Structure 1
Amino acid sequence: MAAATASKSARGAKTSIPQLAWRSPRPAPIVLVSGPEEVCAERAIAGVRDYLKAEDPALEITDIRADDYVAGTLLAVSAPSLFGEPRLVRVSGVEKCSDAFLTEALSYLEHPQEGATVVLRHTSATVRGKKLLDAIRAGTGGGVEVPCPAIKKDADRQAFAADEFTSVGRRIAPKALQALVSAFSGDLAELAAACQQLLNDVEGDITEAVVNRYYGGRVELNAFVVADDAISGNYGSALVNLRHALASGADPVPIVAAFAMKLRTMAKVAGAGRENSRAVASRLGMQDWQVDRARRDLQAGWTQSTLGLAIQATARADAEVKGASRDPIFALERMVSVIANRRPFGE
């Protein structure tokens, strides 16, 4: 945990407030979670919540959006309740904040409510709210900052994955770590989910054999690449990547499983309405990033009808690659065609 004076924030601005590691955040009157890496930001915000709930299970939690803000909300939800329970106010979309929110947040910094922790999430995607961030970083309000810079380099991704295991006292063999990071080099959220799956499912040390058993080297990567292409409507690329995956030794079963997992998530999120991601994730037992990813996938021309068609095609392929057909490769290609083209096979 770093607590530097006059250090640099995720966007390079000078700051005189403590800079905390996203794996070990702590509450303060104002907690600024900055930077684009959503996986780390979600962990940091959850860490603050868990810290406060451990201190007092009666913690009141409120979520508000800075870009769809109703005047007076911040002061109302942070004010002491009748019985004086601690309050956690999580504010998303600060990089798109309204003028009303900006004005009230700046005023709030001058007189933070006792017993309240206000977490401000700013993705650093825009300079909107810079005046608020500058005030926080100057020390107004007694805040702390949790920088979440982008994790793009292979070395950083490997360090991230290694920390997933060492932070809970588990060991992963170097070759196993390398295989795992290689298998999920395209998406940090999927890498994090894979680490958590191994932690939950496997006892003892994580070996290369364990990683290969679960993810087959790069097989799982190939499966998700094929699924992403098909779901986005890119039939040609999906078919090329499918054939490449199969030529590389991929098993048809986990390929279908990757499609099924993504489509199930899309179906759940599609029926959840327009609630904010955190509320939907909480109700469906998901992570925020899973909801956001599903919503992005659904924007690629999906309807209730075509989603149902895709799920039926995947269920048929699942049965066929598990023995119901003599030609599992054709079953896969037909599934990819139906999903990518959004119509029954052959039409």
Structure 2
Amino acid sequence: MTDPAASSLVLVTGPEEFLVERAVSGVVASARAAEPDLEVIRLEPSTYEAGALQMHASPSLFGGVKAIVVTGVHEAPEEMQADLLTLVATPDPDLLLVVAHGGGMRGKKVLDTMKKSGARVIDCPAVKTDRDKTDFVMKEFAAAHRKITSEGVRALVEAVGKDLRELASACSQLVSDTEGTVDDAVVDTYHGGKVEATGFRVADATVAGQAGEALRLLRHAIASGVDPVPIVAVIASQLRQLVKVGSAGRGSSAQLAKSLGMAPWQVDKARRAVGHWSADGLAVAVQAIAAADHEVKGGGRDPVYAVERAILTIARARAAS
């Protein structure tokens, strides 16, 4: 660590907890690879006592390099912030200071000071939209030097995209357990039984006007213990995408995806489907799924019947378009 400003200060920022944890672990692992005897001290705001940073940062009698990891600085008490500012002002080449900040104004002075001191900054932005998740999956496979088809990405995001940590784990599993290019068939083998995947199958059949198949899939899902609420949510989401894409006008899939907060494959999928719908048909479908949403959340007597009725109404609306 010859340049204190550049190599001994690392700032990890952003609200995506999983990415923050991964970034911090990566920094520590790299430091430990260079210094096998690296001592790692972890400090959190909830248990911090004034002066603890300086105490841990003081040189050891036996020498060696230390790493201090400070997490949750966006919740740090004044004492921790003051101690961090003191430590950053006099960087020690034998001390690696890794600071994680989840966003907000608290602790901002620490962030600004570290940046001015030349800290290495690792951004961990929120991964919320399906477009974000699609990009995440593609980067995971690229980093592993593996290929995944756009259909494979779609299937994986639909099956396990609710939680980023689970999505990362699914990517890792597919990379380690399979060979060659990963497509939707491979993903379905590993994750086709997930609740989310089941919901998407019901929604796909419903939007396509395949009432019989949609009802069959729905009844199988219910018999397997799937709650009607997420199924209705997925159907509603797909109908909203049809409305968005149908009114968005022309443009490439990538351009529309960016402006609509969707993934390119979602735009392509919606474009293929929306041609079979009229504006009046979509209006009827949206009203039907809104009514079902109300009923499955306590507004009706029979949630399953509410979903079945919505599926039949939507299928008829498509047929009449």
Return the TM-score normalized by structure 1: 0.54
Q: Which structure: larger Rg?
A: 2
Alpha carbons of 1:210 and 1:98: their partners in 2 closer, same or farther (altered >3 Å)? same
Q: Is the 8 A contact 2:158 2:197 kept in 1?
A: no
Corresponding position of 2:72: 93
Q: Which amino acid aligns with 1:33?
A: V
Matched, 1:247 2:221: no
Task: Give SS of 2:47's match.
Answer: coil
Structure 1 counterpart of 2:128: 152
Q: Deviations over 1:260-296 (max 9, x none)?
A: xxxxxxxxxxxxxxxxxxxxxxxxxxxxxxxxxxxxx
Q: Count the aligned residue pairs.
A: 210
> How far off is 1:85 after superposition?
2.0
Partner of 2:57: 78
- How large is the Cα RMSD of the aligned pairs? 3.0
Q: Deviation at 1:38?
A: 1.2
Instruction: Give 1:233-312 correspondences, 5 Å limit.
Output: 247=218, 250=221
Distance 1:165 1:254 in 2: 32
Aligned-partner residue type, residue 109 of structure 2 = K
Of the structure 1 ranges 244-253 and 98-107, higher mean CA displacement relative to structure 2 is found in 244-253
Q: Give 1:53's aligned residue.
A: 32
Tell me if the contact between 1:222 and 1:245 (Cα under 8 Å) persists in the aligned partners: no
Q: Which of residues 212, 221, 224 is equivalent to 2:196?
A: 221
* Among candidates 61, 80, 91, match of residue 112 of structure 1: 91
Summarize the Cα distance change of 1:81–1:203 in structure 2 as closer, same or farther, 3 Å threshold.
Answer: farther
Q: Which of 137, 140, 158 pairs up with 2:115? A: 137
* Structure 1: runs of 5 or more not aligned: 1-17, 19-26, 226-242, 256-347
> CA-to-partner distance for each residue in 1:202-222, whole Å, 9 max, x for gaps?
233322211011111x73426
Aligned positions of 1:121-136 closer than 5 A: 121-124=100-103, 126-136=104-114
Q: 1:31 is paired with a residue of what secondary structure? A: strand
Q: Distance in 1 between matches of 2:7 and 2:221?
A: 49
Q: Offset of 1:164 from its aligned partner?
A: 0.8
1:128 Cα deviation (Å)? 0.9
Match of 1:177 in 2: 153
- What CA distance in whole angstroms lies between the structure 2 residues aligned with 1:129 and 1:224? 42
Q: Given the superposition, is the C-alpha separation of residues 153 and 192 from structure 1 closer, same or farther in structure 2, using an over 3 Å criterion?
A: same
Task: Using structure 2 for the length normalisation, give the TM-score.
Answer: 0.59
Judge conservation of contact 1:102–1:129 (CA < 8 Å) in 2: yes
What residue number does 1:206 align with?
182
Q: Residues 179-227 of structure 1: CA distance to partner in whole angstroms, max 9, x if unpaired? A: 11122232222211211221232233322211011111x73426899xx
In the aligned structure 1, how far is the partner of 2:132 from the partner of 2:169? 17
- The alignment-based identity, stated in percent, is 35
Displacement of 1:137 in angstroms is 2.2
